[in-house]
Chain A
Amino acid sequence: MRVTLRAALWTFGLVLAALLVSSCGIGGLSPIFPTPVSPNGKDIYDTYIGISVPAIIIFIGVEASLLWVVIKYRRSRLPAGYVPPQIHGNNRLEIAWTIAPLIVVLSIVVYSFAELQKDFQPVSASNYTIVVSGHQFGWNYTYPEGFTIHSEGTLAGDVTPFVVPTHRLIRLEFQGTDVIHSWWVPAISGKTDAVPGYDNFSWLKIDTVGKWRGECAELCGVGHATMQIIVQSMDEAAFNSWVYQQRAAQNTAGSPSPS
């Protein structure tokens, strides 16, 4: 009675685990990343799903064999006097489970490397570069039109949005002025560190109008949690009038703080 109860506990726990893991893998109940709006984010999303296929198969296979061992080979369930076969190994089997995982991980490497070459090279096709500069505790966005948006950190969740035009390939150049920060908006793409001493690059291209949230992802001091990010996309006309307003405002007020 006790034994079956425990077997039930195991089954319950492992099935639950399998459900949870597979649900966050496939993107059913729990989300994977937020639905990406930029092509590079979309490719990362696809890579994640691609890795999930072998990952879920291996997960279920191994947990099932563990469960099988637990249920089938417990002493209390075996006939009295059962003497286990004294096997010291099996070369064929051992080679098999060396080669098989090797093939799986090598294919994941090739698959991931292709995506890496596709989306993580410096983009040259863009003529629109925005400089994103991190400092304790906030972000500055310098536009090619010559004005800078200062987005100082706050916990209220109402930081100044970083406005981008839709349908345009935008190159992002990351700079750090004090400690290391990391710019991350999961709905757009992966994170890029803003490191003092050299420039980092990323890019985005958003085709829908909307707002997405992100945060600084590298511990940077007491205000780390306040370095929130809001990215807002506008269609071309709205963006142009927004740019016009910003330039007018900064020309009258002067440059607030050079950074």
Chain B
Amino acid sequence: MAATHVLPRPKAYDDTFWKPITLWLTTTDHKLIGIMYMVTGVLSFVIGGIFALVIRLQLSQPNLKVVDPETYNQLISAHGVTMIFFFVTIFLTGIANYMVPIMIGARDMAFPRVNLLGFWLVPVSIILYYSGFFTGGALNAGWTGYAPLTEKAYQSHSLGVDFWAMSIIVWAISGIMASTNFLTTIVALRAPGMKLTRLPLFVWAQISTSILLLVVGAPLAAAMILVEFDRQLGTQFFTTQGRPVLYQHLFWFFGHPEVYIMILPGFGMISEIIPVFARKPIFGYMSMVAALFGIVFLSMTVWAHHMFTVGMNTYVEGFFMLMTMLIAVPTGIKFFNWIATAWWGSIEFTVPMKFVFGFLATFLIGGITGVYLASVPVDTQLHQSYYVVAHLHYVLFGGSVFTIFAGIYYWFPKITGRLLNRTLGEWNFWTLFIGFNGTFLIMHTLGLEGMPRRIATYTNEAWAATNLIITMSSFLIAFSVLLFLINVVRSWNGGEIAGDDPWQANTLEWATTSPPPPYNFERVPPVRSFMPLRDLRESGELEAETQPTPVPTHA
């Protein structure tokens, strides 16, 4: 046994970002595809953020004319579509694409070429959407695109809605491909010993997410196809003469589960990161998994809570209110289990852990305001107001974006082989935390005072001061994201070398090199619990595992 022998680093997979373009274009390696998903997501985040800053400038004072109302409507729509479809969902697909096969000890996804096609549909979808801007104006009816405002009678001047509908159809197909691939991979390609009860919770979260997207992606595409029929073939599904509310049912049957598609992988990351930095196993593994599936089921039965003002039967409204409130229960279980995991722990507040606690502190507010919104009578006041905008940013920004940052700071060393700079990371966290709360906390009161969302401007002087504070805070968020981007570029080029396992983590991705070789593992380590790496570390087998074995043994 040559103790000094070091594995040679595979040449094409070194830790630099700049690889031959032909490799990027043709690779079926889930890790490179994952990186491309994530880079696409971060670029979309920047673009969507720029839209948001223009929106905030427009609203910073009453009666401003930074942009005209038509442009404003296009900007709010593009902000929503970009952030939801092209940033959060895409980024999370990317991080799962990278991590899920390694975490279950597989060599790649089950269908590498479907993975390749699924990814390249994403830029197609994005380009389709933005093409709208060059054909007389992109979608201007909000990211939800309610009919009949999207119908030809009210939109004849542009093709923006058509490009949006096409874009979403392509996006849905891509999402269905990715979901099928994840489910097959997790069912079929687990390493020996990796029973379902030993799956990392991030993988369980990805199973739940994939089931959701598989179920609701098709109705979304169907809704978009019907919109296109109305616009181009003269049908009357959602027109003023048709049934506009039917569109809302179809859209929200996708739209509400989409919220969970954007948060469940984040829940998974939180469940991975807390045990590592608290040095305690996750509290209540089985109830965490059960809660995930409770959320999956319930999230498909709550869609009409977005429609409490359209005039439904009160018993139907009561049903959707009940189901919506019930979601608080599995979410609560997860929340309490996370706190219990950290309780009595020995917590190291690294940057990822800071983002985890930032998430817990802010997501709670989003959860509680969600209960107000679920109550039908109260919702008739809060619906379509800035209260809802504040609520959805607490769950999507305080929720998804904080978990995404936690995930990036946690897994960046694995992906690039280098640690993100800690000082910049601390600045990133604190400016984001303060900027985020400064932006969205007082936004609740604007909604309570009667400011509707999606208005291009307002005359009410009473809203001026609050809006100005919000705009200033939103630029603090932009500054924070700038720090993050600087950190990523600097650290990727010359950050501190991470080593295989900088955090003393629990799961298999840290058992291989950073970045992992194309085949992920020289030899897949034995899996004896849901914390296989920790088992190896504690039983002293770890040193032997990282050494190359002359004759690979196939267990």
Complex interface residues of chain B between 361 and 397 (CB less than 8 A to chain A): 361, 364-365, 368, 371-372, 375-381, 383-385
Contact with B along A156-195 (1 / 0, CB 8 A): 1100000000000000001011111010111101111101
B181 within 8 A of A: no
A1 within 8 A of B: no
B525 within 8 A of A: no
Task: Kindly state the separation between the CA atoms of A222 and B454 in the bound complex, as whole angstroms.
Answer: 10
B521 within 8 A of A: no
Given A70-B357, A219-B454: A180 touches B244 (CB 8 Å cut-off): yes
Contact with A along B302-332 (1 / 0, CB 8 A): 0000000111001001100110011011001
A238 within 8 A of B: no
Task: Identify which of A80-88, A125-133, A239-247 touches chain B.
Answer: A80-88
Residues in B neighbouring A176, C-beta threshold 8 A = 240
Closest to B77 in A: A219
- CB atoms of B368 and A89 under 8 A apart: no
Task: Kindly state the separation between the CA atoms of A180 and B357 in the bound complex, as whole angstroms.
Answer: 41
- CB atoms of A155 and B63 under 8 A apart: yes
Complex interface residues of chain B between 135 and 159 (CB less than 8 A to chain A): 140-142, 146, 148-149, 153-154
Residues in B neighbouring A136, C-beta threshold 8 A = 154
The minimal Cβ–Cβ distance linking B351 to chain A, given in whole angstroms, is: 13
- CB atoms of B149 and A180 under 8 A apart: yes
- CB atoms of A101 and B380 under 8 A apart: no
Residues in B neighbouring A48, C-beta threshold 8 A = 372, 378, 381
Given A59-B364, A191-B384: A120 touches B322 (CB 8 Å cut-off): no
- CB atoms of B384 and A217 under 8 A apart: yes
- CB atoms of B368 and A59 under 8 A apart: yes
- CB atoms of A155 and B459 under 8 A apart: yes
Task: Identify which of A104-112, A143-151, A203-211 touches chain B.
Answer: A104-112
Residues in A neighbouring B293, C-beta threshold 8 A = none
Given A105-B371, A108-B375, A186-B449: A84 touches B346 (CB 8 Å cut-off): yes
- CB atoms of A69 and B339 under 8 A apart: yes
Residues in A neighbouring B141, C-beta threshold 8 A = 219
- Name which of B141, B343, B375 has the most chain A CB atoms within 10 A of its CB: B375
Residues in B neighbouring A13, C-beta threshold 8 A = 433-434, 437
- CB atoms of B278 and A84 under 8 A apart: yes
A30 within 8 A of B: yes
Residues in B neighbouring A221, C-beta threshold 8 A = 73, 140, 149, 154
Residues in B neighbouring A186, C-beta threshold 8 A = 381, 448-450
The minimal Cβ–Cβ distance linking A104 to chain B, given in whole angstroms, is: 8
A8 within 8 A of B: no
Task: Identify which of B209-217, B439-447, B471-479 touches chain A.
Answer: B439-447
B342 within 8 A of A: yes
A249 within 8 A of B: no
The minimal Cβ–Cβ distance linking A160 to chain B, given in whole angstroms, is: 16
Task: Kindly state the separation between the CA atoms of A215 and B339 in the bound complex, as whole angstroms.
Answer: 42
- Measured as residues with beta carbon below 8 angstroms from the partner, the interface class of chain A is 35 or more
Given A14-B361, A178-B148: A197 touches B286 (CB 8 Å cut-off): no
Residues in A neighbouring B455, C-beta threshold 8 A = 215, 224-225
Select A24's contact among B280, B444, B454, beta carbons within 8 Å.
B444
Given A65-B339, A97-B332, A116-B318: A55 touches B281 (CB 8 Å cut-off): no
Residues in A neighbouring B318, C-beta threshold 8 A = 109, 113, 116
Closest to B461 in A: A157
- CB atoms of B449 and A216 under 8 A apart: no
The minimal Cβ–Cβ distance linking A69 to chain B, given in whole angstroms, is: 5
- CB atoms of B337 and A94 under 8 A apart: yes
Select A217's contact among B335, B430, B449, B452, beta carbons within 8 Å.
B452
- CB atoms of B311 and A192 under 8 A apart: yes
- CB atoms of B280 and A84 under 8 A apart: yes
- CB atoms of B437 and A17 under 8 A apart: yes
Given A31-B448, A89-B284, A180-B244: A82 touches B376 (CB 8 Å cut-off): no
Residues in A neighbouring B361, C-beta threshold 8 A = 14, 17, 63, 66
- CB atoms of A218 and B69 under 8 A apart: no
Contact with B along A43-63 (1 / 0, CB 8 A): 110011001000100110011
Select B70's contact among A87, A190, A215, A222, beta carbons within 8 Å.
A222
Contact with A along B22-60 (1 / 0, CB 8 A): 000000000000000000000000000000000000000
Residues in A neighbouring B458, C-beta threshold 8 A = 225
- CB atoms of B452 and A216 under 8 A apart: yes
- Name which of B146, B286, B345, B349 has the most chain A CB atoms within 10 A of its CB: B345
A4 within 8 A of B: no
Residues in A neighbouring B153, C-beta threshold 8 A = 178
Residues in B neighbouring A102, C-beta threshold 8 A = 326, 329
The minimal Cβ–Cβ distance linking B502 to chain A, given in whole angstroms, is: 16
Given A14-B361, A17-B437, A225-B69: A189 touches B380 (CB 8 Å cut-off): yes
Task: Kindly state the separation between the CA atoms of A239 and B322 in the bound complex, as whole angstroms.
Answer: 43
Residues in B neighbouring A187, C-beta threshold 8 A = 450
Closest to A223 in B: B69
- CB atoms of B457 and A225 under 8 A apart: yes
- CB atoms of B343 and A73 under 8 A apart: yes
Task: Kindly state the separation between the CA atoms of A13 and B434 in the bound complex, as whole angstroms.
Answer: 8
- CB atoms of A89 and B285 under 8 A apart: yes
Residues in A neighbouring B346, C-beta threshold 8 A = 73, 75, 78, 82-84
The minimal Cβ–Cβ distance linking A225 to chain B, given in whole angstroms, is: 4
- CB atoms of A215 and B322 under 8 A apart: no
Given A43-B377, A116-B318: A179 touches B149 (CB 8 Å cut-off): yes
B519 within 8 A of A: no
Complex interface residues of chain B between 236 and 260 (CB less than 8 A to chain A): 240-245
Residues in B neighbouring A142, C-beta threshold 8 A = none
Complex interface residues of chain B between 47 and 90 (CB less than 8 A to chain A): 63, 68-70, 73
The minimal Cβ–Cβ distance linking A159 to chain B, given in whole angstroms, is: 11
The minimal Cβ–Cβ distance linking B503 to chain A, given in whole angstroms, is: 13
Residues in B neighbouring A17, C-beta threshold 8 A = 361, 365, 437, 441
Task: Kindly state the separation between the CA atoms of A55 and B450 in the bound complex, as whole angstroms.
Answer: 22
- CB atoms of B73 and A222 under 8 A apart: yes
Given A59-B368, A78-B346: A112 touches B449 (CB 8 Å cut-off): no
- For the complex of A and B, 9 pairs with smallest distance between CB atoms: A190-B380, A225-B455, A200-B311, A89-B284, A112-B375, A186-B450, A105-B325, A217-B384, A101-B332
Binding site for B on A (CB under 8 A): 6, 9, 13-14, 17, 20-21, 24, 30-34, 43-44, 47-48, 51, 55, 58-59, 62-63, 65-66, 69-70, 73-75, 78, 82-90, 93-94, 97-98, 101-102, 105-106, 108-109, 112-113, 115-117, 119-121, 136, 155-157, 174, 176-180, 182, 184-187, 189-193, 195-198, 200-201, 213-225, 228
23 contacts between A and B (CB under 8 A): A20-B441, A21-B365, A44-B378, A55-B371, A62-B339, A73-B278, A73-B345, A87-B283, A87-B344, A89-B286, A105-B371, A106-B325, A109-B318, A116-B376, A117-B314, A180-B146, A190-B380, A191-B309, A193-B310, A196-B148, A218-B146, A221-B73, A222-B140
